[in-house]
Structure formats: structure tokens, C-alpha cells
Structure 1
């Protein structure tokens, strides 16, 4: 017996267009509702935006047996390579704010106008304006607080050059408008004569923030072929002083010759003041 009318769903049943349309809508709404429920369930796990986070892995290292002059513990000092030409490394939070403030306090009463090592034919008069800061030299043995000794040992660790190869700290203060025009820390024998020892590297510990200006600049970074530049301009790679941060750069290539790209200077301070402790490191031991 044949069934008349629309009948029920089953084999051979013919559905009208309105019924099919209504069914599609029902399935669509059911799927949408289900997907919303699913997304709420997993939103806290899989759908959370991914963030780049710094993860400090707590890994225990077993120190190796060390020699007579070694150290008993393993240390880690964060750093960033700023440049390979010249070789320049940046050390965030190398010293604490309290250590920096203590060094400034010790140096303040002994500041004198900064001087230059004169080249052949140069005089104090014709080099006036090249270096306009004030400063003082201070060795770790003069510091009864022991802070300079701590900083000096840390510098020796990151440079792998013994601390007795370093000159006394040169504590410098730059006021508004003061600067140091581009120069080399190493001594060219053709200009200065044969030095008793050569400066290998320089470590700058910034003792204060500078609101504006005062950057350490490398005008010929990555390009030692073109030296057609104005040495008084603040150009090239510029490192902004931040209290407690350190900057290490090498004046010599590993073969002992001067790296032309290590020429550097201090941009004029525009606002605020700049305090920095400079440690020049040589290829031979230095007398106390």
C-alpha cells in the first residue's frame, strides 16, 4: 500500500524543499552552538595568545676541580654582542645602583679637567675642546668599601684578562655640552712612539642614566674602509648610558694590530649629566 502525503523519513521518502531548508538551518545552528561551547572549554589552554617569555632554567652544574688560581664556583654574566666590527659587548646590570652611587660619591671631591695623551706635535693648547669632561683616577686599593675590587674582578672574568693588566679606574663626569671627540684608546706607534705596553680593550661602566645625549659612539662601525666623516659628529653605532650597565670593546685584533673600527667618542650631553667609570686593559701587567 502506498503512503500518500509527505510521509516520514525513510528509504524512498521524498522530502519537500521547505523541509530540507529547515533541516539545514537546524544543523547549522547546532554546529555553531557546539563550536562556541568547545571554544570556551579550550580557550584557557590552546587558544591563549602565545607570548615570548624569558625562561630561567634552573640547571645545577657541578664545578670542575680548579687550579691554584681558579675559582670554586660557576658564574654567569648576561651579555649581548653589539658589534663584530669592532668587537663590542654590552652587559646589562653589571653593577648595582648602590655600587654606582658609591663610586660617584668617592670621586666627586677629586674631579679635575680631563687630559689627553699627546701625539707628536700636539700641545694642550691645540687640543683644547677634544675632551671636555672632568675626572679622576682611582685604584681598587684606594677604595676602602671594596666595591671597585668587586667590579675589577668581574671585569677580569668577562674579558679573561687578569685584573693586574688593568689601569686604575678613570671616573669621568660629563656636564651639559661636554663630549669626547672620536679617538682610539690604543696607541699608534707612528703617532705616539713605541709604547711600553698597549691597550687591548676598554670597559665602560655607566654610573648614571643620561636623559638625552651622552651616547658612546662608534662612527666607523662595520666599515673601516671609508673614514671620510666629521669626527665631531655623533653618528654610527650609539650606546645609550644606563646606570649599572657595562660596555666592553676591543681596540686590537687578535693578532695585536689596531682595529680601525674601534675609533669611538662620547656624544655631547644634551640634558642631565653623565658619570662613567672607564677601565683600560693592557697587554702587560701594570704597576699598582
Structure 2
């Protein structure tokens, strides 16, 4: 009897062990599939961008538990990877924040309407031309803001920044060609006209291209290290443009006062063309 019971126990243990091994192999195979999908990109499906347009928008889909969840796709769950760059000033890089199709779409909208960029006049609050900023740019209009792809990006910015979408200004798209730059500056306002309308509290800067040399975003007061800025070594942190990545940084401290350490600049482009999109967010409805 004892021998029979022992054999039965050993048999059950063997059965359970084999089952666990098989389950572990299936789990590893599933995880590997997700990793390969993330590296190579998922299959795509088409959806009409706007009733008045004859173009189509390609969004990622694939073998994921949340692939049929519209909000999860809109937020690019499983793609966006946050990386904290600095706590003072507060800087976070969101890798893969935009899809390649979204980047190309924003560039296509902007290209025909580019104008010489301006800066905010501290006395009047109006935009003026300045040698501080040598790029070309344009703003999306209120009608374009209603397009499904733009709405998806706007919602993503709002969720990841935790700032209501209605507090955001219209998105600006910029092009920096060889030799162009934006000298270090603050995004928060110092003129009474704009402060009364609501101070800027945060910025989401999105890279739309990476086929270039230079063009980094430099935060000179973020740390004591040195980094390459347009081929020159400077103090602070430099974030290299990578298509689809986005930088979220805060112009205000946790106490609600403006943060001088949030000063930043666009390093000179030494080769190629830099495309970016900027979303400024205010403390109340813009």
C-alpha cells in the first residue's frame, strides 16, 4: 500500500511539474512575441482621417490584449516609454510618443504654410521677429484641431501631462534648417498681457524627424554635466531629436511659481532638417 501511494504521489508531482513547464514555455513565447512586435512594428489598418479628405491614417494594431480598445490605441499604450531626465527642472522624455505616420502627417500639414518664426515681445505680448529664433513655423487652426489624428495627439498630451486639453494653446509646428537655432529662453510669460490670460505651466515638445545632425534641446541648468549642442560642448542636459519622441518639461515649480531652471534652447542644426511640434499648456483655459 505504501509503495502504491508513493508511486501515485510521484506521478502527480511529475504531472504538475510538466504542466508548469509547459505553461512557462507558453508564457515565454507570448512575451517574446510582444517584444518582437514592439521592435518590428504591428500590422496596420486604415481609417479615414476626415470626411473632406481623400487620405487615410494608418494606426498600429496587432496581437495585444488592448488592441481593440480605442482609448488604449489613442494613448499608444505599450509603445510610449517614459524616461525621467531631471527633477529640477522637471523633464520627462516620452519615447515613441508619436507614430511615424503622425509625424509625417503633421509635417505635411505644416509645409505649405511655413512663415518666419517670431518670439513674444515682453512689453506688448505680441509676436515679433528676432535673431534669437531663426526657424520657420505655423500654427494649426481650430478646424484642423478637430481632425481625428490631431484629436488623438491632443488627448495623449493631456493624459501624459495631466493638464486639461482645453488649457492647451494651438499646436505649433517648426522647421529648423542647417544653421538655424533657438537661443536659450523660458516658455513662461513675463509680460502682463499674457500673464492675465493665464501663465504657461508646461510644454510638450515633439520631434517629427531625426535625419539631422545637431538640433538637440539643451537645458543648461539641468545638472552639472556637459553635453553636445550642435557640435559644441555646453553645460546641462541635451536631448537628441528622435522621430516620435517627446519632451515634457515644466515652466512652473511645485509651489506654483515660475521655474528659472526651465530655461532651454534649440541647438544649431549642423546638417539635415529638424521638424518639431510644440504644445504649450496654461494654468487655465487658453
Runs of 4 or more above 6 Å deviation: 54-57, 71-74, 121-125
Indicate whether 1:266 and 2:266 are aligned: yes
Residue 164 of structure 2: which of 162, 165, 184 is its match?
162
Q: Equivalent residue for 1:202?
A: 203
Q: Distance in 2 between matches of 1:260 and 1:194?
A: 16
- Cα deviations across residues 107-130 of structure 1 (Å, max 9, x unaligned)? 0001000011112399989x7310
SS at match of 1:158: helix
Corresponding residue number in structure 2 for 1:251 = 251
Cα distance change of structure 1 residues 193 and 154 upon mapping to structure 2, 3 Å threshold: closer
Query: Any gaps of 5 or more consecutive residues in structure 2?
Result: 1-30, 36-63, 225-231
CA distance in 1, matches of 2:146, 2:178: 31
Q: 1:241 aligns to what?
A: 241
What is the TM-score when the length of structure 1 is the normalising length? 0.66
* CA deviation vs aligned residue, 1:88-108 (integer Å, no higher than 9, x gap): 000111111111011100100
Q: Secondary structure at the match of 1:149?
A: helix
Residues 222-266 of structure 1: CA deviation (Å, up to 9, x unaligned): 37xxxxxxxx98542000011111110000012211111100000
- Aligned residue runs from structure 1 range 72-91, under 5 A: 75=77, 77-91=80-94
After TM superposition, list the pairs within 5 Å mapping 1:179-218 onto structure 2.
179-188=181-190, 194-218=195-219
In 1, distance between residues paired with 2:175 and 2:264?
17
Task: Show the counterpart of 2:280.
Answer: 280
- Whether 1:114 and 2:117 are equivalent positions in the alignment is yes
Q: Distance in 2 between matches of 1:111 and 1:202?
A: 21
Which structure dedicates a bigger proportion of its chain to helix?
A: 2
1:41 aligns with none
Q: How far, CA to CA, are the matches of 1:103 and 1:193 in structure 2?
A: 27
Which has the higher Rg, Structure 1 or Structure 2?
Answer: 1
CA RMSD of aligned residues (A): 3.2
CA deviation after TM superposition for structure 1 residue 85, in Å: 1.3
SS at match of 2:157: helix
Could you tell me how far apart the structure 1 residues matched to 2:194 and 2:142 are?
30
CA contact (8 A) 1:140 1:148 kept: no
Count how many residue pairs are aligned between Structure 1 and Structure 2. 214
Matched residues in 2 for 1:124 and 1:94: separation? 29
**Of Structure 1 and Structure 2, which has the larger fraction of its residues in strand?**
2
Q: Does 1:174 align with 2:181?
A: no
Change (3 A) 1:212 1:85: same
Q: What residue is the counterpart of 2:44 in the other structure?
A: none
Q: Which runs of 5+ in 1 are unaligned?
A: 1-53, 62-70, 224-231
- SS of equivalent residue, structure 1 residue 204: strand
Structure-2 change in CA distance of 1:281 and 1:82 (3 Å): same
C-alpha spacing 1:106/1:188, structure 2 compared with 1 (3 Å): same
SS in 2 for 1:195: helix
Does residue 152 of structure 1 match 2:154?
yes
